[in-house]
Amino acid sequence: MSAEADAAAAKSGVVIRELHEIQEFEAAFRLFDDIWHPEPGSPPVPVELMITFAHSGNYVAGAFEGDTMVGASVGFLAAGEALHSHVTGASIGRGIGSALKLHQRDWALERGLKRIVWTFDPLVRRNARFNLVKLGARPEEYLERFYGAMADAINEGDEPDRLLAVWRLTEPPPPYPSTTPVIGLAEVDGRPVHGSTDGRLVLVATPADIEALRREDPWTAKAWRAAMRETLGGLMAEGAHVVGFTGEGQYVVSRE
């Protein structure tokens, strides 16, 4: 692994390695279950599939603090010299997710892969910031209702739109135009407010905490989903590109 990946793991206090034993796959399953609390029969990835992925040369890794697994990631080879990162879960706030991604990047580069792709909810601000700012990935497709109805404690009751993130491992993300942006979608008192998308550069806001909104104010959460689909989804359908993410939690979208 690279020095950067090793340093990230050490800073998080973990050791990251590929999984091979049945007990390790079962530990990853329990970890994912603790994070997402899915209904029985709807796990993010079953133990049998993790075993099959690992045996056939795909990416299944865990982050360990001593003998305890505190993070895990599962991915599979995809078309176009890419690794599709299917699911990654870790203890929040310690940098374990970042260390797993850097380990995953090194794994992919060692196998001649040029991209890592995955999906994420465009309404989850912390994930957008991590993916776009920390890693330098860029959303390249807006996917409406991508997973159908999802039965877990985080997504239940929502229509699971997703952004397809593409992390180009051998090239930096391009800079975006230096021009005054317009506000396509704003957050006002926690609610989405439509603006204008008639500009070369458009800002699209995200809610501060969509997961809390789903629990405490489902109507506002649904309003955010509809507004994001209309604004960001509409812009991307017209050929616009997400080129960044601001410190205030806004997607930066370029029409160029």
pLDDT band at 98 (very low <50, low <70, confident <90, very high): very high
Domains of the chain: 3-168 (3.40.630.30), 182-254 (no CATH)
Q: Return the structure tokens found at 107.
A: 């794994």
Cβ contacts of 103 within 8 Å, gap of 6 or more: 1, 5, 9, 16, 61, 73
Pick left, alpha or beta for residue 104 (phi over 0 → left; psi -120 to 50 → alpha; otherwise beta). alpha
The whole-chain average pLDDT of the chain stands at 93
H-type alpha helices, the chain: 3-12, 22-36, 47-55, 96-110, 125-129, 210-216, 218-228, 234-237
- Answer whether 11's CB lies under 8 Å from 96's CB: no
State pLDDT tens for residues 212-244.
999 999 999 999 999 999 999 999 999 999 999
Percent of the chain with pLDDT over 70: 96
Q: Return the structure tokens found at 181.
A: 């942006």
Identify which of 138, 123, 134 has the alpha carbon closest to the alpha carbon of residue 223: 123
Which letter does DSSP use for residue 111 in this model? Answer: T
**pLDDT given for residue 9 in this prediction:** 95
**pLDDT given for residue 35 in this prediction:** 92
**pLDDT given for residue 245 in this prediction:** 97
**pLDDT given for residue 97 in this prediction:** 94
Give how far the C-alpha of residue 19 lies from the chain's centroid of Cα atoms, to the nearest Å.
22
Whole-model pTM: value is 0.91
**pLDDT given for residue 153 in this prediction:** 46
- Answer whether 254's CB lies under 8 Å from 240's CB: yes
**Strand pairing category for 68-78 and 138-143:** unpaired
* Percent helix, strand and coil across the chain, each to the nearest 5: 35, 30, 35
- Answer whether 232's CB lies under 8 Å from 185's CB: yes
Percent of the chain with pLDDT over 90: 84
**pLDDT given for residue 91 in this prediction:** 84
